Amino acid sequence: MNEIKFSKNFADHSVQSGANAGFQFEFYCERCSDAWRAEFVPYRGGQASSWLDKASGMFGGVLGNVGSATDSLALAGYGKAHDAAFAAAIEQAKHHFHRCARCMKFACDTCWNNSKGLCRDCAPDAEVEIDAARAEGEVQTAREAALAEGQQRGQKIDVKRDRQLVCPQCSAETHGAKFCPQCGVKLAVLSQCPKCAAEVAPGAKFCPECGEKLS
């Protein structure tokens, strides 16, 4: 038996019986997944079975036994006809795909580096890789610059001051503002005692927990 190629990257759309009985196979590029479909090959045995079933119904079941016999013959010949159609479809697919000698995957014309004789995963296009590397470098440098800018901005933020993040009057998020953005109420700006770290109300001169004098 000849070698069976395309063992994984294909779909079988064959129909065993009925008016649309026939064989058709779809093959996929293992790099980009684009598909190519082989031509449809009708399966006359399966189609004949459908025609006899319809005729049997028209004549009140008189041809029922003939239809059953045809069904059996159609089932018996389906496997051999299917294999033959699949082998023919593979021969057609060989003209649309290339097998990479390095990774052994099947690639379509778009994913094939013809000058190297390999797929573009194994032999990428130099110009494409240069552009991709340039774009990656731009993003990386911009990210580093943005990080440095964020660090400079962060140094200007007072991280020691506690903020009331939820308005006590309307429960809106305040995002650390001095006044509620929804109802306008003035928000308390709490601080901490430098000795015991207890929360201290604005304007307090002594810590309510340990009595430490506040500056």
Same domain for 14 and 76, yes or no, is: yes
CA distance linking residue 205 with residue 182, whole number of Å: 31
Same domain for 169 and 102, yes or no, is: no
Same domain for 161 and 211, yes or no, is: yes
Same domain for 111 and 46, yes or no, is: yes
Cα R_g (the chain), whole angstroms: 38
Report if residue 178 sits inside a domain. yes
pLDDT at 59: 47
What dihedral do alpha carbons 84, 79, 46, 14 form, nearest 10°?
-70
Same domain for 34 and 101, yes or no, is: yes
CA distance linking residue 116 with residue 94, whole number of Å: 19
Same domain for 86 and 19, yes or no, is: yes
CA distance linking residue 57 with residue 206, whole number of Å: 102
Same domain for 20 and 105, yes or no, is: yes
Report if residue 124 sits inside a domain. no
Report if residue 75 sits inside a domain. yes
Q: How many domains does the chain have?
A: 2
Domain coverage including residue 207: 154-215
Instruction: Going residue by residue through the chain, which has 215 residues, state the pLDDT in tens, using 9 for 90 and above.
Output: 455 577 789 999 999 888 889 999 999 999 999 999 999 999 988 777 655 555 555 545 544 454 555 555 556 688 899 999 999 999 999 999 999 999 999 999 999 999 999 999 999 999 999 999 999 999 999 999 999 999 999 888 766 666 677 887 888 888 778 788 889 888 766 677 888 888 777 667 888 889 888 76
Report if residue 194 sits inside a domain. yes
Same domain for 33 and 87, yes or no, is: yes
Same domain for 113 and 17, yes or no, is: yes
Same domain for 160 and 114, yes or no, is: no
